[in-house]
Chain A
């Protein structure tokens, strides 16, 4: 793949090299060391720090011989597939409606759309149990009306559908970020020639943002392999396993830790996802076809929806109701009642006790504080790292860029639970890092690496939109590569950067599995606390903390919007 730029880049490669080399080396190190540990561990027949450990393939033999493993693999594939099938079309459609049309009330709908991104899946799953489980608030109401509950949240299809619906915002964010950066002149041309909004969306706008859709599709598919909370909370009662919960089961199955088995499962997951990355690279080959931000600013004018408006409102309303309102109202209700279920008058059991309990516990208070810190400060630092990596790859279609590209997608394919564990090992066994193990830095580093692909894609989607001629203009009047990045490229993608900060902020707020193994007094974050409280059955605390989490992020988002940090503009 060659572009006019690559030859230009080659001439000045030496001037760029030191910083670029450093960025690449650091990235490789932070991704590959934990990953290497996982591979190494999978080839031993005991935990690697066990004096009895010897090399061998016993771990693989064990899991391939375990029918549960094949069951879990099948379910994971099914769920990941349904997620992509549900989330990509819906996310794209929502993005088009929100970014391109004159739908009324867009300003206040958008924050609502993002709810499932910043609410921990742990919370949502819990919400579905309380709202739509066999004796959930809604189920009881429906069964009073119809005499029966027409759904079962614990079934595999339900888990797949819920997973798909709750991942719509991920696709939406990528697609709308890409749509925002397109001029609307092409769409207007289509409208003038008589195409309806649906036609415009399907034939013009959405094809223009194919890279964003592809990336988000692949990412959602990845996330399908990471589904943990949904399967843990909703899959347990009927025994539906996915790879992540199978992994979790292995923690205890032998009574003592079976890291080698867990690592072998992780390697299998990477084995499934890596070919997908290759496929994605192939699909992205023609990315430059989609350059749409040229030196000439494209003006944006929303399309008039006309009578399609009602359909659009119905679509958004229905999705919001099922994926946001139902689980969150369940959690909210649960947070204010002492107990619940069949045959209980809710008005008689209202209470504020759970919140009093939360504020009485130093660990939980610390968790709230840490969660804010890791979201705001940590998120900013992470975006800075992602931007540095993005720029190191920008306009360079060489081996290194490809290497980093694969590298960035790999950690995302490792379940957070295990990534956290791998980082725990790293911090344990590299003495210089040991003092940092019990600090929030450990959690931040793990989060940053785990969500590398996520942040990178957003930044790259923005970078792809920048036409090379602007940078070439700067370079031709003698600006260095670094200067070009600073004064031309970065300002052009600033909205993308802000959007990714917000996105990363929300992701960090709700992340739960990565921090579980790094949980120490002092490194508590709400997500990991939810897992450990759920494990001990502190449903009251889970509900209260979840609500606090949602409110926190809601405030953060409101402040951001108030001060003009718009997700898109």
Chain B
């Protein structure tokens, strides 16, 4: 029913489009090659772009609205699903030769790289590439489009000022010294259930030489593991848990705005930064519209919305906002460790390496049951 209405309004809009001054809308963004107009025209013909995404519809809708205003007549069909589901769907649709998306966008960076590595991506060098940091682009196929520091989250009401960890080392020391106080009060990702949680922990182990000591300290306080940042924060906000380790800064900031009990810290020793990876599918039925969408997301205009309305942090150095690459570079400089978009993410998709790591982690956690 709703869908029918939407189709109706879209059809009406499409019918009216020629009556509006079409050429004005087809303007090529500044600094783009002149033949970009042809791409816009082709995309207009396609009329829509289908995106499979793992980012909340809430966060994406300002982007969709703005894109549709910029390119009238091109509709964005955004399908919101979780990261595993997204990967499964793409792989099974490919095998079945069924319909699939034009653009794939997910926070499971490793799975996205695997898809690209398996040859599912269309090579497309975006005109925005010079404006992007090197670590965020791979092979001119996969693009990291957000900038999300990984932080500690704590309960402001129940944690004393001297108990707030400002670095990973602080955090480990706190748990060792106050084990009794934090028993059952520390929460983090269940790395077996959450692909993203697993990816973060393995990145930790690469960046932090004292990682296994930290793991032992966590294991010593009977940690509570959840499969999402949201669940962790719900429990921290309520005071059931006091401290969260490896939480998405983007979510923490949003949550803290609504719940004054939530506090968060960007660690000073090193900050993992994750980035949602986007690429165009080789089998895209609407390749031109897909290119327009990717370029828009990477453009200053799109990134400004990502930073200030979607609250996901901009990857560009020339975009201002609270949690952006530019802002964090001023305060944390060298401590920032963006997870590079590239083949190094594939290491732990190797089954044996993965299970080995999980086993090691579980040993460090001890018999937490």
Residues of A within 8 A of B (CB): 47, 49-50, 133-135, 236-240, 248-249, 251-257, 338-344, 357, 361-363, 365-366, 369, 424-425, 428-429, 434, 437, 516-517, 519-522, 532, 534-539
Further contacts, 9 of them, CB under 8 A, given A237-B224, A428-B93: A251-B84, A252-B195, A339-B238, A340-B238, A341-B237, A341-B239, A428-B98, A520-B79, A534-B231
Q: At the interface, yes or no: B180 with Cβ under 8 Å from chain A?
A: no
Choice from B82, B111, B260 contacting A255 with Cβ under 8 Å: B111
B residues 210-238 near A (Cβ < 8 Å) are 224-235, 237-238
Q: Do residues B369 and A238 form an inter-chain contact, with CB atoms below 8 A?
A: yes
Contact yes or no, A532 B226, CB < 8 A? no
Q: Looking across the interface, which residue of chain A has its beta carbon closest to that of B222? A: A238
A476–B281 Cα gap in the complex (Å)? 68
Q: Tell whether B95 is near chain A: CB-to-CB under 8 Å.
A: yes
Residues of B contacting A239 with CB < 8 Å?
Answer: 225, 368-369
Are the CB atoms of B198 and A50 closer together than 8 Å?
A: no
Judge if B351 is at the interface, Cβ distance under 8 Å.
yes
State whether A135 touches B240 (Cβ < 8 A): yes
B26: CB under 8 A from chain A? no
Interface presence of B160 (CB below 8 A): no
Pick the residue among B2, B88, B157, B258 that contacts A365 (CB under 8 A).
Answer: B2
CA gap between A340 and B239 in the complex, in Å = 8
* Interface residue count on the B side (C-beta < 8 Å): 64
Cβ contacts B94-107/A at 8 Å (1 or 0 each): 01101000000000
Tell me which residues from 56 to 85 in chain B have a Cβ below 8 Å from any Cβ of chain A. 56-58, 77-82, 84-85
A135/B238 in contact, CB under 8 A: yes
Q: Which residues of B contact A49 (CB under 8 A)?
A: 91-92, 95-96
Of chain A, the residue at the smallest CB distance from B83 is: A252
A539 and B351 form a contact (CB under 8 A): no
Q: How far is the CA of A339 from the CA of B96 in the complex (A)?
A: 45
Complex formed: what's the CA distance from A424 to B96 in Å?
A: 11
Name B residues whose Cβ lies closer than 8 Å to a Cβ of A: 1-3, 6, 56-58, 77-82, 84-85, 87-88, 91-93, 95-96, 98, 110-111, 114, 157-158, 190, 192-195, 198, 224-235, 237-240, 251, 258-262, 348-349, 351, 354-355, 358, 368-369
Nearest CB of chain A from residue B76's CB, rounded to whole Å = 12
In the assembled complex, 28 residue pairs joining A and B whose CB atoms fall closer than 8 Å, in A order, are: A50-B91, A134-B240, A237-B226, A239-B369, A251-B193, A252-B84, A252-B193, A253-B192, A253-B355, A253-B358, A255-B195, A339-B260, A340-B238, A341-B238, A341-B239, A341-B261, A342-B157, A342-B238, A357-B58, A361-B57, A361-B58, A366-B3, A424-B92, A428-B98, A517-B88, A521-B77, A532-B80, A537-B231
Cross-chain contact A341 with B79 (CB below 8 angstroms): no
Residue of A nearest to B224 (CB): A237
Residues of A within 8 A of B231 (CB): 236, 534, 537, 539
Closest to A366 in B: B2
Contact of A363 among B57, B157, B258 (CB under 8 A): B57
Q: How far is the CB of B50 from chain A (nearest CB, A)?
A: 10
Q: Which residue in A237, A256, A437, A522 is a CB contact (below 8 Å) of B3?
A: A522
Residues of A within 8 Å of B110, CB to CB, are: 255
Residue from the list B88, B227, B234 in contact with A257, Cβ < 8 A: B88
Whether A537 lies near B234 (C-beta < 8 A) is yes
Residue in contact with A339 in the complex, picked from B2, B56, B259, CB distance below 8 Å: B259
Q: Report the Cα distance A251→B2, complex, angstroms.
A: 33
Q: Which 10 residue pairs of A and B lie closest in terms of their CB atoms, listed nearest first? A: A537-B230, A341-B238, A49-B95, A342-B239, A339-B259, A341-B239, A237-B224, A428-B96, A255-B349, A539-B234
The docked-state distance in angstroms from the alpha carbon of A520 to that of B355 is 32
Establish whether residues A133 and B240, one from each chain, have CB atoms under 8 Å apart when the complex forms: yes
Complex-state Cα separation, A134 to B198, whole angstroms: 27
User: Most chain-B CB neighbours within 10 Å: which of A240, A252, A344, A522?
Assistant: A252
Q: Is the CB of A363 within 8 A of B80?
A: yes
Complex Cα spacing A424 to B348, Å: 28
CA distance A133 to B224 in the complex (A): 13
Q: Decide: A369 and B1 in contact? CB cutoff 8 A.
A: yes
CA distance A429 to B98 in the complex (A): 9
Chain B residues lying within 8 Å of A344, measured Cβ to Cβ, are 157, 261
Taking a contact as CB atoms under 8 Å apart, the answer to whether B2 and A362 are in contact is yes
Which residues on the B side are within 8 Å of A135 (C-beta)? 238-240
A537's partner among B111, B114, B229 (CB-CB below 8 A) is: B229
A139: shortest Cβ distance to chain B, in Å? 9
CB distance from B61 to the nearest CB of A (A): 8
How far is it, in angstroms, between the C-alpha of A242 and the C-alpha of B237 when the chains are bound? 28
B225 close to A532 (CB less than 8 A): no
| A249 & B82 in contact (Cβ 8 Å cutoff) | no
Collect the chain A residues with CB atoms within 8 Å of residue B227's CB: 236, 535
The residue among B78, B157, B195, B234 with the most chain A CB atoms within 10 A of its own CB is B234
A373 and chain B: residue at smallest CB distance = B1
How far is it, in angstroms, between the C-alpha of A428 and the C-alpha of B88 when the chains are bound?
12
A369→B192 contact, CB < 8 A: no
Closest to A429 in B: B96
Bound Cα distance A11, B268 (Å)? 86
Which chain A positions have C-beta within 8 A of B230?
534-539
- Report yes or no: A252 in contact with B194, Cβ–Cβ below 8 A: yes
| Closest CB in chain B relative to A256 CB, distance in Å | 6
Residues of A within 8 A of B260 (CB): 339
Among B3, B93, B96, B226, contact of A236 (Cβ-Cβ < 8 Å):
B226
Q: Is the CB of B239 within 8 A of A50?
A: no
B7 CB, min distance to chain A CBs, angstroms:
11
Docked Cα-Cα span, A538 to B56, in Å, equals: 10
Please judge, given known A-B contacts A49-B91, A365-B2, whether A343 and B259 are in contact too, CB under 8 Å.
Answer: no
Contacts of A253 in B (CB 8 A): 192-193, 354-355, 358
Question: Nearest chain-A residue to B94 (Cβ)?
Answer: A49
B81 touches A519 (CB 8 A): yes
Distance from A348 Cβ to chain B, minimum over Cβ atoms (Å): 10
Whole-angstrom distance between the Cβ of B346 and the nearest chain A Cβ: 10
A344 to B230, CA, bound (A): 20
Q: Are A248 and B193 in contact (CB under 8 A)?
A: yes
- Given the contacts A255-B111, A256-B349, A257-B91, A537 and B3 also touching, CB distance less than 8 Å: no
State the CA gap A81–B79 with chains docked (Å): 40
* Complex: chain B residue closest to A137, CB-CB: B238
Please name the residue on chain B nearest to A363 by beta carbon. Answer: B57
Residue of B nearest to A238 (CB): B369
Chain B residue contacts of A50, Cβ below 8 A: 91, 95
> A539 vs B226: C-alpha distance in the bound complex, in angstroms?
14
Chain A nearest CB, measured from B166 CB (Å): 24
Distance of B63 from chain A, by nearest CB (Å): 15
Closest to B78 in A: A521
A135 to B261, CA, bound (A): 14
Q: Tell me which of A133, A236, A248, A365 has the highest count of chain B C-beta atoms within 10 A of its own C-beta.
A: A236
Closest-by-CB residue of A relative to B199 is: A255
Closest to B96 in A: A428
Residues of B within 8 A of A437 (CB): 98
Q: Select from chain B the residue with minimum beta-carbon distance to A421.
A: B88
**Are A425 and B228 within 8 A (Cβ)?**
no
Measured between alpha carbons, how far is A191 from B193 in the docked complex, in Å? 58
CB <8 Å contact, B111 and A343: no
Q: Smallest CB–CB gap between A71 and chain B, Å?
A: 9
- Residues of the A chain whose Cβ atoms lie less than 8 Å from the Cβ of B1: 369
CB neighbours of B81 from chain A (8 A): 519, 532
Closest to B82 in A: A535
